[in-house]
Amino acid sequence: MIPQLPLRSARSLRLTIIHKPIPRLRAMHIQSIPMCEHPVTWASSPAAISNHSRGAKGVGSSNNYAYLVTDEPSKDAVIVDPANPSEVAPVLKDAVDSGRVNLTAVINTHHHWDHAGGNDEILSQFQSLQLPVIGGKDCKCVTQTPKHEESFKIGHKISVKALHTPCHTQDSICWLMEDGEERVVFTGDTLFIGGCGRFFEGTPAEMHTALNKTLAALPDDTRVYPGHEYTKQNVKFLTTVLQTEPVKNLQEFAENNQQTQGRFTIGDEKDPAVQKATGKTDPVDVMGKLREMKNNM
C-alpha cells in the first residue's frame, strides 16, 4: 500500500488490439518464479529478519518471487532477486540451455538474504556467463550500483531505470522497466500489493518519499511486481482502515488467486482516504502511524 495512497481495484490486464494479420513480437516477457524454500532461516539471517510482516514464518513460507525478464527480440534477459538457487537455477538452466534466453545479469532490489542471498551460487552455476550483479551497495557480490534515475538497456527494447527508495534498507532500489508498449516496476520490499515494507533501516519520512513521491510519480498504468506475495495479509489490515469497494474487490481477488504480482498498478495503490484512519494530516505522520498500526495488528 502506498499509504496516502493504498490500493484497489482488481483491474484486469489490458489486451492489445492487433490491427495487422501478423502478430507483433512482444518486447518484454516476465516469468515469475515463486520461491517457498527459503535458503536460510530468519534466525540465521540477522539482516533479513524480524519477520518482514506479521505472519512470516521463515523457511517454507516466505512467499518470495524471483523474476526472469527477457527482451524477446534479442533474447537478452536478467534475473531479479534469485534468492533461492535450488528453485531458480533449474528454471534459468532450462531457459539458457534451450537457447530461449541469453542471461546477461543478476539484479537485486536490496541486500536482505531473502533477495540477494543466492547471488554467489547463481554466479557459480553460471560462471561461464560472467554475470554482473546490479543492485544496492550492500548486496552480496554486487558489481554495479546505478545512481538514482540512472538508466541502462536489456537487449534492444527494454529500458531500465534505477529508483532509489531507501527505508526498508538503505540500499533499496526499485527497478522501472519499459519497452515502449508497457511499463512495470519491481519493488522488492518497498511496495507490496496493498502494503509496504517495514522501516528496518529508515524512517517514516524516507518511506513517504519512496512511496508518495518516487513511486507515485510513475504513470498510473505501471504494473507492480513486489518481492513477496503478502496480499492476503495486507488485505486483513486494509479492511480495518478502509471499507471501500476497491478494498473489497482486492480482498475477493486475493482470496481467489494465489498470485497477485503484475495484476495491479501504481494507480490502483492510490487512495488518500486511508489517512482518515490515522487521525493525522501531515503525510509523514500518516505514514508513521499506518506502519505502527500494521505492526501492532
38 is catalytic: no
**Nearest of 2, 47, 27, 46 to residue 213 by alpha carbon:** 2
81 is catalytic: no
Answer yes or no: are the C-beta atoms of 228 and 63 closer than 8 Å. Answer: yes
164 is catalytic: no
Catalytic residue among 111, 115, 164, 208, which? 115
228 is catalytic: yes
Catalytic residue among 189, 208, 268, 271, which? 189
Catalytic residue among 38, 52, 111, 112, which? 112
The three three-digit cell numbers of residue 61, written as one number: 513460507
- Name the phi and psi angles at 249, rounded to 5: -65, -40
271 is catalytic: no
Q: What is the DSSP letter of 5?
A: B
Catalytic residue among 114, 138, 171, 268, which? 114
DSSP for 180-220, written as a single string: SS-EEEEEETTEETTEE---SSS-HHHHHIIIIIIITTS-T
The three three-digit cell numbers of residue 110, written as one number: 536490496
Catalytic residue among 38, 52, 110, 208, which? 110
Q: Is 293 exposed, middle or buried (0-12, 13-18, 19+ CB in 10 A)?
A: middle
Catalytic residue among 168, 179, 208, 268, which? 168
**Nearest of 103, 98, 100 to residue 77 by alpha carbon:** 103
CA–CA dist 16, 2 (Å, integer): 28
223-226 vs 195-196, strand pairing mode: unpaired
Answer yes or no: are the C-beta atoms of 86 and 37 closer than 8 Å. Answer: yes
Cell 503525510 locates to: 283
Catalytic residue among 164, 228, 268, 271, which? 228
Beta bridge partners, 2, equal 5
Catalytically annotated residues: 110, 112, 114-115, 168, 189, 228
